[in-house]
Amino acid sequence: MLAYIIRRLLVAVPTILLLIVASFFLMHFAPGGPFTSERPLPPAVLANIEARYGLDQPLWKQLWDYLYNIVVHFDFGPSFKFKDRDVNDIIAQGFPISLTYGSLSFLFATTIGVGLGIAAAIKHNSWIDYFAVGLGIAAQALPNFIMGPILILTFTLWLGWLPGGGWNGGQWPYLIMPVIALATSYIGSIARITRSSMLEVLNSNFIRTARAKGLPTRTVIWRHALKPTLLPVVSYLGPVFVYVLTGSVFVDIYFSTGGLGQAYVGSALSRDYAVLLGVTILYGALTVIVNLLTDLAYAWFDPKIRY
Amino acid sequence: MNKYIRTSLAGLLTSTMITGAAFAAGTHPTTGEALADDQTFTYRILDEHSSVDPQVVEDVSGAEIVRDLFEGLMNQDEDGNLVPGVATSFTTNDAKDVYTFTLRDNAKWSNGDPVTAGDFVYAWKRAVDPALSSPYAWYMELMSIENASEIIAGEKPVDDLAVKAIDDHTLEVKLSAPLSYFPQMTTHATTFPAPQKVIEEFGDAWTKPGNIVSNGAYVLTEHLPQERSVRERNEMYWDNDNTIIEKVVALVINDENVALTRYLAGELDRTEVPAGQFPRLQKEHPEEAISFPRLCNYYYTFNLSEGGPEAFKDPNVRQALSLAVDRKIITENIMAGGQPQAYTFAPEATAGFTVPDVEMASMSQAERDELAKELLAEAGYGADNPLSFEMVYNTSEAHKKVAVALSQMWKQKLGVNAELANMEWKVFLEERGNQNFDLARGAWCGDYNEASTFLDLLQSESGYNDGKYNNAKVDELLASAKTADDAAPLYTEVERIIAQETPVIPIYHYAGVYMMDSDVGNWPVNNVEQNWYSKNLYKTAE
């Protein structure tokens, strides 16, 4: 197991390096640069700025300096757009926010989704099943960029219960709408996968055996059916976890949460190279780690899997 | 000018003395309105500001904050007129190439240090210093300060900048060319003073709350990037007794519809109205929906460079396309925010600018359409030989609506095939700047309130002239306008030539379209540059 983990982490290094190199060149080949503006800068002014940020160097040299600073100083470079902040600052400020509402959304979506799915499967073809399936489909049809405005109109404008945006250090009134908006569409998918997986498990031979030896239904479900049911759910949840952190740009835009999603998209649009690369690396590393955790979780859920 | 400033200053000082007691009673010193207990002004900004460093800031939302935090030599009043800031007066020589400013002796930084002429010298040298590499260094060149260009180009040392502190309260500037509107240019953030000690102590982090020291009516007390920034009254400000607003909060809200919802929920005192929603909001909230002219234009430019389409080299074709644009439909049905229709490049709201009698403006749309058909037929285009080209704009809902309307008007009236292409902002700028287009959208907001800020775009050598329009007469008129005592007739003449030759299709001029809480007093709607100062605002009790 330990050897497996070490092997996986070692493979991650070239993966992320490849990601950096590919992103670096893609980014530099996109038309326009960080200082392209509607009022083109006079050549002398532009030259001074490029010299300051090392953009006058050949690309390979820029890439080398960039990697060198990361490895040696753990410095991900300056922001070209926000003059008094560097990439480390931007990530240190935005990532905890994304992580907070992302994790909460993930927990919320998983709890409700799995609960609905199990309920629907146990009470197959009853009103609970229809209700759960209906709710799941409705939720899936509401992506966060639809949920955002709906929630704000309802809870801020009409009911006046919740503030329309901001973060305020993550106080709960500011958290409710972002968490719900981000979680809704995942609830639907999770419920659907859980339900079909549970139905399949409940029809399998070992469950029939468990029932035949007279175990109460509750024990059958919790002790025997739940773990194998969750296997396909876990493989879906891995990418979702990364996605609730990366795909949160709409939440950041609608609720002014100040998370990293907005900084990421904003940096791509303004060609803020170092910020864009820094966040890409963070998300890349996160994906590698979460994938590893997902694979390790398989072993726990399914005794047949061994590393 | 000099005398005028002294008189108005005397007026200010007197009003300070009289009004000291009035605030305690909660009424406005001059209007007598009852003031609200909570003097917090909260407004929306579209995007996180780039910086609050006066020499570095380059975006509008940042400049708005900097205008509250720092004070330059001169300020603008509600109508955009020049009023004293840190300087109480200035004099100039006959050649108008040396300016001497006298600074007030009661101006202080928020840490209690006096504001001196040396703080301005430091700031101005900093602005041109290649080591700082300010994106607004060119502004000092535009101000024609002697040696600014050479310093930026690295040909001379920073200390050669021709700005000098004669004593703590006298600042002298030498210009490389006469400039009659030099004092007007000192209302711009790049020219604001900077606290040398603080900058040397904290480096790039000097603008963070806690570190920052400023000399304006407010100090920065909180900054949560992508969320909000807060500035609060600066007790050390020389005119603090006359400041009414205690606290100003700028909330970053990227989506304008969300901002409007939050405004309607009472979270904001001011927000922009999304395109097309003004009529409804005006009906529902007549006291809060406001619209006033702004110093910006919206146009399409023809590519007149060598590689541009052959068809556009014929002025008749260009004129026909311009004539067929029904500007009324665009301003009233699409933008619907009180934007004036445009038949000239510079907006009518520009100071000292007389709009010429452009023939097209006085015609009815039916007459214009008729003439457009004739001109296009004359140029050899018709049903058997239809004119086709591509029009590009940067990705945005409002730009798309306008582009679709234009192409439909041309299709229906003239049988012209205009193909639409939208591009992401930076790609669009690159393509337009390299003349890789047939017809491209453009918009320009004046850097200062004078027609040349717009008309210079059509000067053949201008770096902003993306259409590469080249007319020797226009160049000559613009050159003589720089030194003329009265440039207005020259600008009018330039517009007349532009109307004939149609290198651009002016569509509309901008309006400031806001939802503004009716409690907010003294918003400068007549300041077409929208240079507003929180210290001049107040909130009345409901």
List chain B residues with CB under 8 Å of A276: none
CA distance B540 to B537: 10
ipTM: 0.86
Chain A, chain B: beta-carbon pairs less than 8 Å apart: 141
- The tokens describing B13, both together, are 């000082």
DSSP H/E element including B128: helix B117-128
Residue from B10, B525, B510 nearest B296 by CA: B510
> What is residue B333's predicted lDDT score, i.e. its pLDDT?
93
A257, B226, B421, B440, B457 from B304: Cα distances, Å: 46, 41, 19, 11, 14
CA distance A291 to A9: 11
| Torsion, Cα of B431, A53, B50, A164 (10° steps) | 90
Cβ distance A165 to B253 less than 8 Å, yes or no, reads: yes
> What is residue A138's predicted lDDT score, i.e. its pLDDT?
87
Phi first, then psi: give them for residue B270, nearest 5 degrees: -150, 140
Q: For the segment A190-214, what is each residue's pLDDT rounded down to a tens digit?
A: 999 999 999 999 888 998 998 899 8
Å from B220 to nearest chain A CA?
14
CA distance B86 to A93: 36
Nearest chain B residue to A81 by CA: give it: B50
Q: Is B503 exposed, middle or buried (0-12, 13-18, 19+ CB in 10 A)?
A: buried
- The tokens describing A53, both together, are 């940020």
Does the pTM surpass 0.80? The reply is yes
Q: What is the DSSP string of B241-285?
A: GG----EEEEEE---HHHHHHHHHTTS-SEEEPPTT-HHHHHHH-
Comparing CB atoms, the residue among A32, A152, A263 nearest residue B430 is: A32
Cβ distance A263 to B226 less than 8 Å, yes or no, reads: yes
pLDDT higher at B345 or A83: B345
> What is residue A235's predicted lDDT score, i.e. its pLDDT?
87
- Interface probe, candidates B188, B226, B424, chain A, greatest A C-beta count within 10 A: B226
**Mean pLDDT of residues grouped by 10 in chain B (542 residues)?**
40 41 66 91 92 92 95 93 95 92 96 96 96 91 93 94 96 91 91 97 93 96 92 96 95 92 95 93 95 94 95 95 96 93 93 85 94 94 92 93 96 95 92 95 88 92 91 94 85 94 96 94 91 95 83
pLDDT higher at A302 or A193: A193
Comparing CB atoms, the residue among B47, B149, B257 nearest residue A149 is: B257
Cβ distance A32 to B427 less than 8 Å, yes or no, reads: yes
pLDDT higher at A83 or B20: A83
Å from A83 to nearest chain B CA?
6
Q: Grade residue A132 by pLDDT with cuts at 50, 70 and 90.
A: confident
Contact A71, A213 (CB under 8 A): no
Give the contacts of A97 (CB within 8 A, at least 6 positions apart): A167, A170, A257, A258, A259, A260
Could you give the angle at which helices A87-122 and A260-270 cross, rounded to 10 degrees? 130
B8, B83, B92, B178 from B3: Cα distances, Å: 9, 12, 13, 22
List chain A residues with CB under 8 Å of B141: 42
CA distance B197 to B66: 19
Give the contacts of B410 (CB within 8 A, at least 6 positions apart): B321, B324, B416, B418
- Interface probe, candidates A27, A29, A41, A45, chain B, greatest B C-beta count within 10 A: A45
Q: Mean pLDDT throughout A153-173?
A: 91
Give the contacts of B49 (CB within 8 A, at least 6 positions apart): B57, B59, B61, B62, B65, B229, B250
Nearest chain B residue to A257 by CA: give it: B227
Å from B259 to nearest chain A CA?
9
| Helix, strand or coil, per DSSP, at residue B419 | strand
What single letter denotes the amino acid at residue A296?
L
Nearest chain B residue to A39 by CA: give it: B464
CA distance B523 to B532: 8
Could you give the angle at which helices A260-270 and A273-301 cross, rounded to 10 degrees? 140
Q: Grade residue A39 by pLDDT with cuts at 50, 70 and 90.
A: confident
Q: For the segment A84-122, what is each residue's pLDDT rounded down to a tens digit?
A: 888 999 999 999 999 999 999 999 999 999 999 999 998
Residue A256 has pLDDT above 60, yes or no: yes
Please tell me if residue B203 touches chain A, with a CB cutoff of 8 Å: no
Å from A203 to nearest chain B CA?
49
List chain A residues with CB under 8 Å of B134: 45
Å from B443 to nearest chain A CA?
9
